[in-house]
């Protein structure tokens, strides 16, 4: 993409309303724009990252056997009356009346609707296990929305719902999502640590939050140092193998890890002091087994092997892609801007023409631009006639992993500078070597 | 995808509420489910088609130079007060009040919001032309929603908005979208004919609807037979070449074509009788130049070459992907079900195992399933233990372009049947030839 034909509205000023670094950087880098309190547009650069996150989530959901659907944003109040949550949900639910005075709402989550879909079609245990997910906009009318897309009112969520015949099978479904989440965050370039979460009145041990460590995180977390060195499961995980899944979950839940809420000082003190990591974290995913809570209330039953109807055991599994972007920036930035993990970067490479109009610079840039595109390298080419200093600052701000800098003296002798955004390391190399170096 | 692990809830009964064939077939084929009046979930098969349509639209928008963003579904009423449309829009607008009693609405369209984005960032004519589009859910509170996703209340729309310095450049932007639309519908396997539409108080000749001919279409249309044989512009269109674009538009607007609304009997009668095509049609796209209507009201100005601020000339360009699916089915089906154009088909091939459990059938199917996947052919494998008759009926209903039918006698001697859904032609071929035949 040529910058002259793109829409990348970089802000020079730091917006005053932004309290946290990811919000500031996303506004300054032209990724998002606030349209109303807690409601944002994704501008081109922000949307590219949102799509990358969503696609990684989608691929890992599919790999685990979950099936994608798409439920609407607007729901009927009647459905929520069946579960009892219409009255219970409180003011965070955006309630709507249509022209016929029918009560609707903007879905804050989809347990009721997906249970309704399930009960409409599925009759037999033979059609289980089933896990349906969608990636759709939700609305929660936070009393004081802030922190940009980290805590917006309209936000994108991937929510999956599993349906199983009994607790044991539901537990395997839970493990499947647990492992899919480990892979998802790892592929996003993020270290996420599963931490036991409060299960409320349902009890049991089947609720985990996935927490990214970031010095600017919203809450205090405590974990064993072992987590930092653990490797996430590879592509060869067998999602049909319940024992293998249970083993992975066991490995990832044995060392101590807890949010402030669930922290147990006694157990923590038993961890050797040098192994303790006390840090700040950001929740990026939450998985939850809730048994027959909705299936009983809403009559979602299947005939079991003995022919008798039983309510299905369910779980729900959420990741917020819009929130995840902010979390990734909180975890990876410096004083000059964002430092994207490769998998989330909106472009792979930023190509800077330091002197548009200079014949050598233009020729070198055009050649590199064409060669990179031919290799499938997604490149943002700054071909604009602006000061070199401003170009460097913008490119650091938007945080593409690699910069290729073409100046008149280098171009004349066939050389360019290549800069790694994360380390800041710069190297002068021959133009001939650029594509091979980036592809390596 | 193995059918045993998929979620494809085929309905045996024809749903009574469905008045038109596309609605009936989408319900029966398990593509959609109504969640409330005019509000639908897309089930897995329906979502796959929706994604295919959206991706074709996206690729052609990008090719034409439009840039993708994503605006939120919920908008502030204040923005619509600036254009005067908050009061003017009437009951089709879903009006919402949040917990702080601020007036919001579910966007029925985005002229105001995109104009707000533009005026926030763009200052100079040097940043033009600009065309921003998004693919996002909209809501229009139709008094009597019906016809399934053909006329739903919550619907997906691609809406693009062009910004130019003056009328001439805006006209080129309009031509660019006109040509992109011709390519988009052609790639979807649909013959769409541009027909002049009413421009209302703005006047001029720059509003066209794109109409698909279908015997079950919603309105009467009249066009010259020449359209049926015209070839849509190829991949080599140069969207930077204003003259080339104008030439294509001229070719596609010269023969007579009009909807009932714009029909001119006198001009029609001048068309030789044997060249007249009078048919029924479905609108699948609408493009519109509206000049400075919003830019003047909302202060979206740029400094021109002389340094003076001028309001920008705008156009808007819409395609409804959810509606387009229904239109495609109206245009292509038979008494047994849907007949997908190849580009929109949810899977390329349906592989039918007539006798699961039979060693030859199972081995042949597994081999074909693996070979097709390795070649990137997206295959739905009916591995379920149900009657062969029901399998054939379901496969015809969901309308995949090619069926591969594996029965015990054929499998024993290394042969399968291959069936073309559109023509019904069947052929017995060697298992070794199947993948080559499908890839051809």
Q: What distance in Å separates residue B197's CA from the closest CA in chain A?
A: 29
Beta bridge partner(s), residue B41? B33
- Residue B439's Cβ-count burial label (10 Å; 0-12, 13-18, 19+) is exposed
Q: What distance in Å separates residue A68's CA from the closest CA in chain B?
A: 6
**B253 and B377: one domain?**
no
* Nearest-by-CA chain A residue for B114: A41
- Residue B388's Cβ-count burial label (10 Å; 0-12, 13-18, 19+) is middle
Q: What distance in Å separates residue B263's CA from the closest CA in chain A?
A: 34
Q: Mapping DSSP to helix (H, G, I), strand (E, B) and coil, where does residue A238 land?
A: coil
Contacts of B122 in chain A (CB under 8 A): 9
Q: Which of B280, B308, B338 is the last residue of a domain?
A: B338
Nearest to B41 among A35, A43, A69 (CB): A69
**A379 and A288: one domain?**
no
CA B211 to chain centroid, in Å, comes to: 12
Contact, A176 vs A238, CB < 8 A?
no
Alpha-carbon distance B437 to B428, whole Å?
Answer: 12
**A315 and A397: one domain?**
no
**Residue B70 to residue A96, Cβ atoms within 8 A:** no
Structure tokens at A338: 């964002």
φ, ψ at A158 (rounded to 5°): -95, 115
Structure tokens at A157: 């969520």
- Kindly write down the DSSP assignment for every residue of A309-374, as one continuous string: EEEPEEEEEEE-HHHHHHHHHHHSEETTEE---GGG-SSSEEEEESSTT-HHHHHHHHHHHHHHHH
Q: Which residues contact B229 (CB under 8 A, 6 or more apart)?
A: none
Q: Give the pLDDT confidence score for residue B204 in this predicted structure.
A: 67
Confidence band (pLDDT; 50, 70, 90) for A410?
A: very high
Q: Mapping DSSP to helix (H, G, I), strand (E, B) and coil, where does residue B382 land?
A: strand
Pairing of strands A67-68, A276-291: unpaired
φ, ψ at B62 (rounded to 5°): -60, -45
**Residue B141 to residue A99, Cβ atoms within 8 A:** yes
Strand order in A426-430's β-sheet?
A379-382, A349-353, A402-406, A415-420, A426-430
A13: which DSSP letter? S
Range of the domain at A9: 3-338
pLDDT of residue A350 exceeding 80 = yes
**Residue B74 to residue A37, Cβ atoms within 8 A:** no
Structure tokens at A79: 């459905």
Nearest to A72 among B40, B141, B143 (CB): B40
Tell me, yes or no, if A240 comes closer than 8 A to chain B by beta carbon.
no
Confidence band (pLDDT; 50, 70, 90) for A199?
A: confident
- For A:8-27, CB contacts with B below 8 A are 9
Nearest to B70 among A42, A65, A141 (CB): A42
**Residue B68 to residue A40, Cβ atoms within 8 A:** no
Contacts of B44 in chain A (CB under 8 A): 67-69
User: Which CA distances in Å does A264 have to A222, A260, A271?
Assistant: 10, 9, 11
Contacts of B153 in chain A (CB under 8 A): 74
Contact, B245 vs B190, CB < 8 A?
no
How many domains are there within chain A? 2
Where would I find the H helices in A64-199?
Answer: 77-83, 85-88, 111-121, 167-187
Contact, B206 vs B199, CB < 8 A?
yes
Confidence band (pLDDT; 50, 70, 90) for A204?
A: low
State the residue for tokens 């070198």: A364
**A322 and A359: one domain?**
no
- For B:398-427, CB contacts with A below 8 A are none
**A243 and A388: one domain?**
no
Contacts of B8 in chain A (CB under 8 A): none
pLDDT of residue A16 exceeding 90 = no
Q: Which residues contact A252 (CB under 8 A, 6 or more apart)?
A: A178, A182, A194, A230
**Residue B9 to residue A120, Cβ atoms within 8 A:** yes
Q: What is the CATH number of the domain that holds B59?
A: 3.30.930.10
Pairing of strands B379-382, B154-164: unpaired
Nearest to A113 among B35, B68, B99 (CB): B35
Rg (CA), chain A: 24
The size of the A-B interface in CB pairs under 8 A is: 136
**How many alpha carbons fall within 13 Å on the CB side of residue A40?**
28
**Residue A74 to residue B121, Cβ atoms within 8 A:** no
Q: Which residues contact A23 (CB under 8 A, 6 or more apart)?
A: A147, A148, A149, A150, A326
Q: What distance in Å separates residue A389's CA from the closest CA in chain B?
A: 20
User: Which CA distances in Å does B123 have to A5, B174, B301?
Assistant: 15, 22, 7
Q: What is the CATH number of the domain that holds A373?
A: 3.40.50.800
- Residue A157's Cβ-count burial label (10 Å; 0-12, 13-18, 19+) is buried
- For B:74-133, CB contacts with A below 8 A are 74-76, 79, 91-92, 94, 96, 98-99, 102, 104, 106, 113, 116-117, 120-122, 130, 132
**B191 and B47: one domain?**
yes
Q: Which of A338, A373, A408 is the last residue of a domain?
A: A338
Q: What is the ipTM of this complex?
A: 0.97
**Residue B7 to residue A132, Cβ atoms within 8 A:** yes
**A207 and A305: one domain?**
yes
**A364 and A218: one domain?**
no
pLDDT tens for each residue of chain B, 440 residues long: 999 999 999 998 888 889 899 999 999 999 999 999 999 999 999 999 999 999 999 999 999 999 999 999 999 999 999 999 999 999 999 999 999 999 999 999 999 999 999 999 999 999 999 999 999 999 999 999 989 999 999 999 999 999 999 999 999 999 999 999 999 999 999 999 999 988 776 666 799 999 999 888 888 999 999 999 999 999 999 999 999 999 999 999 999 999 998 999 999 999 999 999 999 999 999 999 999 999 999 999 999 999 999 999 999 999 999 999 999 999 999 999 999 999 999 999 999 999 999 999 999 999 999 999 999 999 999 999 999 999 999 999 999 999 999 999 999 999 999 999 999 999 999 999 999 999 98
* Nearest-by-CA chain B residue for A113: B35
**A353 and A300: one domain?**
no
Q: What is the dihedral of CA A300, A303, A306, A307, to 10 degrees?
A: 120
**B308 and B375: one domain?**
no
Interface test with A, best of B68, B72, B117 (most A CBs within 10 A): B72
Q: Report helix angle B321-331 to B44-63, nearest 10.
A: 110
Tell me, yes or no, if B70 comes closer than 8 A to chain A by beta carbon.
yes
The answer to whether the Cα torsion of B16, B17, B22, B28 is positive or negative is negative
What are A247-298's pLDDT values in tens digits? 999 999 999 999 998 999 999 999 999 999 999 999 999 999 999 999 999 9
Alpha-carbon distance A311 to A292, whole Å?
Answer: 6
Tell me, yes or no, if B40 comes closer than 8 A to chain A by beta carbon.
yes
Q: Mapping DSSP to helix (H, G, I), strand (E, B) and coil, where does residue B380 land?
A: strand
- Residue B203's Cβ-count burial label (10 Å; 0-12, 13-18, 19+) is exposed
Tell me, yes or no, if B7 comes closer than 8 A to chain A by beta carbon.
yes
Confidence band (pLDDT; 50, 70, 90) for A45?
A: very high
**A99 and A34: one domain?**
yes
- Residue A167's Cβ-count burial label (10 Å; 0-12, 13-18, 19+) is middle
Instruction: Show contacts of A305-313: CB within 8 Å, 24+ apart.
Output: A305/A125, A310/A165, A310/A166, A312/A118, A312/A128, A312/A163, A312/A164, A312/A165, A313/A163, A313/A164, A313/A165, A313/A166, A313/A167, A313/A169, A313/A170, A313/A289
* A105: nearest Cα among A64, A134, A56, A141: A141
Q: Which of A296, A316, A338 is the last residue of a domain?
A: A338
Alpha-carbon distance B28 to B23, whole Å?
Answer: 9
**Residue B35 to residue A116, Cβ atoms within 8 A:** yes
Alpha-carbon distance B361 to B352, whole Å?
Answer: 10
Alpha-carbon distance B344 to B188, whole Å?
Answer: 6
Tell me, yes or no, if A68 comes closer than 8 A to chain B by beta carbon.
yes
**A276 and A396: one domain?**
no
Confidence band (pLDDT; 50, 70, 90) for A203?
A: low
């Amino acid at each position: 993409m040529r910058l002259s034909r793109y829409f990348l509205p970089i802000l020079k000023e730091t917006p005053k309303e932004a309290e946290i670094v990811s919000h500031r950087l996303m506004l300054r880098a032209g990724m998002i724009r606030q349209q109303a309190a807690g409601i944002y547009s994704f501008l081109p650069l922000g949307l590219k990252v949102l799509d990358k996150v969503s696609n990684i989530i989608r691929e890992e959901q599919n790999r685990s056997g979950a099936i994608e659907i798409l439920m609407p944003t607007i729901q009927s109040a009647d459905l929520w009356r069946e579960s009892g949550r219409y009255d219970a949900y409180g003011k965070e639910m955006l309630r709507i009346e249509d022209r016929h005075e029918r009560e609707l709402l903007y879905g804050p989550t989809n347990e009721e609707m997906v249970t309704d879909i399930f009960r409409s079609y599925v009759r037999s245990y033979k059609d289980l296990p089933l896990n349906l997910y969608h990636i759709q906009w939700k609305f929660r009318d936070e009393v004081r929305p802030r922190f940009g897309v980290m805590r917006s009112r309209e936000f994108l969520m991937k929510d999956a719902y599993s349906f199983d015949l009994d607790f044991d099978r539901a537990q395997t479904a839970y493990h499947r999502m647990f492992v899919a989440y480990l892979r998802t965050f790892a592929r996003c370039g993020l270290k996420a640590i599963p931490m036991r979460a409060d299960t409320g009145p349902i009890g049991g041990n089947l609720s985990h939050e996935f927490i990214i460590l970031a010095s600017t995180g919203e809450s205090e977390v405590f974990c064993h140092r072992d987590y930092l060195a653990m490797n996430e499961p590879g592509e060869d995980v067998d999602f049909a193998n319940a024992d293998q899944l249970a083993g992975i979950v066991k490995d990832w839940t044995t060392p101590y890890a807890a949010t402030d809420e669930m922290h147990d000082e006694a157990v923590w003190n038993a961890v050797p002091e040098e192994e303790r990591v006390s840090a700040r974290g950001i929740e990026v995913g939450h998985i939850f087994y809730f048994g027959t809570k909705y299936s009983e209330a809403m009559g979602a039953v299947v005939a079991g092997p003995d022919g008798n109807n039983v309510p299905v055991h369910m779980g729900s599994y959420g990741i917020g892609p819009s929130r995840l972007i902010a979390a990734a920036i909180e975890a990876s930035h410096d004083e000059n801007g964002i430092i994207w993990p490769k998998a989330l970067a909106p472009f792979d490479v930023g190509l800077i023409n330091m002197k548009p109009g200079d014949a050598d610079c233009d020729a070198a840039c055009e050649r590199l631009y064409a060669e990179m595109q031919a290799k499938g390298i997604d490149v943002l080419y700054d071909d604009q006639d602006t000061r070199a200093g401003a170009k460097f600052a913008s490119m650091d701000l938007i945080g593409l992993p690699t910069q290729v800098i073409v100046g008149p003296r280098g171009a004349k002798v066939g050389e360019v500078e290549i800069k790694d955004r994360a380390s800041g390391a710069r190297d002068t190399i021959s133009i001939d070597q650029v594509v091979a170096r980036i592809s390596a």
